[in-house]
Amino acid sequence: MKVFTELFIVAFYTVFVQNLVLSSGLGISEAIRVSAKPGTFGRIAVMISGFSVVTGTLCGLIDMIPAVSGVSFAVRGLIYGGVLAAVFALVAVIAKFLFGTSDKFLSTLGIAALNTLVFAVPHINNHAAYSLAGCVGSGIGAGAAFVLAALLINKGSQLLKENEDIPEVFKGTPAMLFYVAMISLAFAGFSDTNIFG
């Protein structure tokens, strides 16, 4: 029961309190790009959650090895990157040669696996000293945070497209950046951040 409670709390914290995409800016480029394709949200969110959970848990296990716990950030980055690349390669090879998936699907898999959000999860787990349950919760939360961000950005981009009052020079990318900034500000409020201090 304690394990599930920790898992749930970490996942909830990762999605709503410290939304990794909107509060920390991790994977924000991918979220904006994916938001233009609502049909792929669910698939990519599941992939991101899967890769975050597996990579985060494996890296959490590796961090428990005494020889690894004290290494520099550079070596840690190399270890985490190696784990992520190995997990992606394994999944891609299985998908390609056992299930015969298309190259397009594998490209989507690559976008979901190899982005700053997934790569940052093991670093965050290490920094926050999460247990294995926390690592799993953090991974699930990362995927959910991504899909929440992509959904909010998608809805906003539709409203921005329909809004004729936006001055011509702010249409497109500038308006999108202002909109994402406003959502990010809202999430800063959830984490009780003082912006005038």
Partner 1 sequence: MNKTPSFKDVFLKNAVIFNPVLIQLAGLCPVVAASSSLKSAVILSAVAFAELIAVSVIASALLKKLSRWIRVPLYFVIGLVLICPALWYVETQTLAVLTMSIKIFIPLIAINSVVAVHCEQFAVKNDVKTAFLSSAAAGMGASVVFVATGALREIIGSSSIGGILLNLPLSFKGMTLPFGCLILLGFMSAALKTFIGKKHPEYSAVHSSVAAKPGDELNEKENVSEKEPEEIPLPAEEEIQYSVPEEYARIRTEEEIEEFFKSLGLDFDEKGDEK
Chain centroid, CA 170 distance in Å? 28
CA angle 182, 31, 76 (to 5 degrees): 110
Smaller CB separation from partner 1, 9 or 114? 114
Inter-residue contact 14 to 136 (CB < 8 Å): no
Chain centroid, CA 70 distance in Å? 26
At its nearest, how many Å lie between partner 1 and the CB of residue 131? Answer: 21
Inter-residue contact 56 to 135 (CB < 8 Å): yes
At its nearest, how many Å lie between partner 1 and the CB of residue 158? Answer: 11
- The stretches of 37-115 forming alpha helices (DSSP H) are 41-63, 66-69, 73-97, 103-113
Q: What is the DSSP letter of 196?
A: -
Smaller CB separation from partner 1, 65 or 74? 74
Question: Counting Cβ atoms within 10 Å, is residue 66 exposed (0-12), middle (13-18) or buried (19+)?
Answer: exposed
Residue carrying the six token digits 């980055």: 77
Question: Counting Cβ atoms within 10 Å, is residue 83 exposed (0-12), middle (13-18) or buried (19+)?
Answer: buried
Smaller CB separation from partner 1, 5 or 107? 107
Smaller CB separation from partner 1, 7 or 13? 13
At its nearest, how many Å lie between partner 1 and the CB of residue 42? Answer: 20
Give the interface with partner 1 as residue ranges (CB under 8 A). 22-30, 32-33, 36, 72-78, 80-82, 85, 88-89, 92, 103, 106-107, 109-111, 113-116, 119-120, 123, 127, 157, 168-178, 180-182, 184-185, 188, 193-197
Smaller CB separation from partner 1, 6 or 106? 106
At its nearest, how many Å lie between partner 1 and the CB of residue 184? Answer: 4
At its nearest, how many Å lie between partner 1 and the CB of residue 30? Answer: 7
